Amino acid sequence: MAIRPIRLFGDPVLRTAAAPVTDFDKELRSLVADLTDTMVDAPGAGLAAPQIGIGLRVFTWHVEGVLGHLVNPELSLSEETQHGPEGCLSLPGLSLDCLRAQSVIARGFNMFGDPVTIEGTDLLARAIQHETDHLDGILFIDRLDREARKAAMRTIRESEWFGADTQVRISPHATGGFGL
């Protein structure tokens, strides 16, 4: 179990679709443990495997004191939406309002290969949508409208961390506990 460096915006792994997990083995359980440790240390409310450089469809969350993980998620989204602040551990210091479904039903597997269904609302729903996007190479800034996205890109380009060695730096700033 280890805290791994969090990959930052600009690292190609964050733009690459992750592969489904096929082996529910010891390596997978060790990946879930590393994701959990890294997320709690950051601290963040969620973390997806590509954010630590692993191209597998796995993520963890830590919302309202509850830790969870999901493998190979499939989401059903509510029509009702929520508009609120969102951040990302791979985009340190950025927090912007982002439109998401208000609730989500996520079907997938736990690290032992048992089928699980997670029902989430509010922040848990937001975290699950955000992390599932990571598995498809999508970042939350992609979900912003054009003007907000342009402003976000400006902030990113001006950030100290941007253009630094994205391979070895551990995310230096938490986004108020709402990093995902």
Figure out which of the listed residues 88, 101, 127, 144 binds Zn ion, where binding follows CB under 5 A. Answer: 88
Residue 6: name the closest of 61, 62, 48 by CA: 48
The CB-of-113 to Zn ion minimum distance in angstroms stands at 26
58 scored as a contact of Zn ion (CB under 5 A): no
Rg (CA), the chain: 15
Considering only the stretches 13-21, 68-76, 81-89, 168-176, report the one whose residues sit in contact with Zn ion under the rule CB under 5 A. Answer: 81-89
Given a contact cutoff of 8 angstroms between Cβ atoms, the answer to whether 89 and 58 are in contact is: no
Position with the least CB separation from Zn ion: 88
Known active-site residue 27 = no
Evaluate the omega torsion of the peptide bond into residue 43 and state whether it is cis, within 30 degrees of 0: yes
Number of residues that bind Zn ion (CB under 5 A): 2
b/e code 19-28 from CB counts within 10 Å (16+ = b): eebeebeeeb
128 scored as a contact of Zn ion (CB under 5 A): no
Catalytic residue among 86, 131, 158, 160: 131
Which tokens is 107 given?
Answer: 């079907």
The CB-of-180 to Zn ion minimum distance in angstroms stands at 4
Figure out which of the listed residues 56, 152, 156, 180 binds Zn ion, where binding follows CB under 5 A. Answer: 180
Interatomic CA distance for residues 58 and 80, integer angstroms: 26
The CB-of-23 to Zn ion minimum distance in angstroms stands at 25
Which tokens is 14 given?
Answer: 């964050």
* Active-site residue list: 131
List residues binding Zn ion (CB under 5 A).
Answer: 88, 180
